[in-house]
Structures are given as C-alpha cells and as structure tokens.
Amino acid sequence: MNSPDAPRHSRSPQPGQAVILVTGIQASGKSTIAQLLAERLPKSVHVRGDLFRRMIISGRADMTPDPADEAVRQLRLRHQLAASVSDTYFQAGFTVIVQDVILGVHLAEMTAMIRSRPLLVIALAPKVSAIAEREENRGKTAYGTWAITQLDDVLRNETPRLGLWLDTSSQTPAETADEILARAWDEARIPGQDT
C-alpha cells in the first residue's frame, strides 16, 4: 500500500502485453518517454518510426507544410513498416512501444494498421513554450521547414482525440512515464477495441 506521501502515479504498471503508440510533435519527448517505458516494462521493444524514414538513402521525400504526394506516400509506408514490425514483436510475446510523429488523419490510419490488441495511444501535448525551450536545449534541430506553432495546430485541431492526451509541460520524463504507466491501460485504449 502506498504511503500518503507517495507520488500520485507510483503504482506499478498494469499487467499484460500491449502495443503502446506514443505520438506528439517534434521535441515533445516521444523518444525519451518511449525508451523509459520500454525500460520499465518486462520483455519490451522500442520501435522508432523515424528509423524507416532514415533508411531511405536515395529518393527520400520528407514531409513539409505543403507535402508532395511522394512525401505522403513515404510517410504512409513508414507507418505501415512500423505497424508491421510492432505486430511481429507483439506476436513474439513482447510489449511494444512504437513512437513517431503521427498527426491528423494519419493517427486513425496508424491505429487501423496495427492489428495487435490491446493498443494504447499516448499523445504527448506539452505547451508550445515548453516545446520551444526543449528544442533550444536539444543537441539537434527538429524544426526546419515547420514552425512549432504549425505542428502544434495540427496536433490540437486536426488530430483525432484517441487515447490518453497529456500536457507534459511541467513534468520530468520520469513523471510522464509514471503517469502513463498508472493510467494507460485504463484510459488509453482506442475506441471500439476489445478489452
């Protein structure tokens, strides 16, 4: 039993295997949180969706605010590959944490591509000011052709509210992982799936 002074989300993770899909805009903490979750869960895998984009050596078409058809085709290919890899690891008995920037209509498409259940969706949605501060302190730059406010607008206004959405602006990565582990199995399941 937890003491009254214990952190609010200090429960141990829910039992059972799942695919956990972590999304959010660049610098929202997806990679860090996905890695922390994988490290805290037994028999787990961290699938980084961007790896499939980086595998294209020649002919890569990156997403922009006004993307070419080929960029959208390659984005959907990347999502299909991440979904397939996630399902394969899940079938082999692993809990899978898959993370990528999956916004707008692509989020619903991705949840349909992943066949394994339960599927838990986590959307990291810190404030724009928190993203800007994180971006400034990172060793890499995520925002080239995009403005932070553009992607934040797509997240908040064009992305379906599937799963558990968290404003992680004032949380440490460990606190965010704690909250996900405490709430996801109850609150992050996509609509219409069997329990």
Distance CA 168, CA 28 (A): 8
CA-based nearest residue to 166, from 154, 189, 183, 142: 183
CA 189/CA 119 separation, integer angstroms: 6
Please give the domain boundaries of the chain with CATH numbers for all domains: 19-187 (3.40.50.300)
Sign of the C-alpha dihedral, residues 151, 139, 52, 46?
A: negative
Which helix H or strand E contains 122, and what residues bound it?
strand 119-124
pTM over 0.75, yes/no: yes
Q: Which residues, at least 6 apart from 26, have a Cβ–Cβ distance to it below 8 Å? A: 101, 131, 135, 142, 143, 146, 148, 151
DSSP state string for 9-47: T-PPPPSS--EEEEE-STTSSHHHHHHHHHHHSSSEEEE
Tens of pLDDT along the chain (195 residues) come to 333 443 444 444 456 899 999 999 999 999 999 999 999 999 999 999 999 999 999 999 998 888 999 999 999 999 999 999 999 999 999 999 999 999 999 999 999 999 999 999 999 999 999 998 888 776 655 545 578 899 999 999 999 999 999 999 999 999 999 999 999 999 999 865 454
Number of C-beta neighbours around residue 79 at 10 A: 21
The Cα–Cα gap between 163 and 190 comes to: 6
